[in-house]
A = this chain, B = another copy of it.
């Protein structure tokens, strides 16, 4: 047993075998979630897919819920904001990233399972809404700044506008089973972003 008290604040030195086990197991969980969803996920299937013994899983997690929570926590969906360019260009860049993420990524394939799990368990719901809000905040921030600088009219509601820019992507992915590509970003911005005279879309 590693003495955890030895180095307060620092991450305790870990046996590399533990880290390796964690990694392959959590990867297997995400794969499994994408394939069978949350309700049908079993520990045995995860163990088989990860190529580890069941006991290794039960050594590190008390049960399915905690395992899935941990797996979701490893999901990353970073959105980078270009620090220069017009308002329009920056928004397009962000929406393009979101579209690509929703179109194809580990996150994308887990999205239905995540939505389903969030509906059943408060802890997953909490994680999921925070996770989504992170990405939303980036876009809201850009739009809010634009209102302050006058690039957008004062009547613009940054949050509603952000949701209107991203919502259609989710709608098409989750409800209409339509493919979404990055090209939707420009279409959305052209259609929804209020323009101020000289800022009209170039083509």
* Interface residue tally on A, bucketed by range: 35 or more
Q: Does A187 contact B (CB under 8 A)?
A: yes
Q: Which residues from B are CB-within-8-Å of A115? A: 112, 115-116, 174-175
**Copies of this chain held together in the complex:** 2
Is the pair A175, B170 in contact by a Cβ cutoff of 8 Å?
yes
Q: Which residues from B are CB-within-8-Å of A146? A: none
Identify which of B155, B160, B171, B187 contacts A188 (C-beta below 8 A).
B160
Could you show 10 A-B contacts with beta carbons less than 8 Å apart? Answer: A39-B116, A112-B115, A113-B119, A115-B115, A115-B175, A118-B177, A156-B191, A163-B167, A164-B191, A167-B169
Q: Which residue of B lies closest to A162 (CB)?
A: B168
Within 8 A of B (CB), among A151-203: 155-157, 160-161, 163-172, 174-178, 187-188, 191-192
Distance of A58 Cα from B169 Cα, bound (Å)? 40
Identify which of B116, B128, B133 contacts A37 (C-beta below 8 A).
B116
Q: Does A86 contact B (CB under 8 A)?
A: no
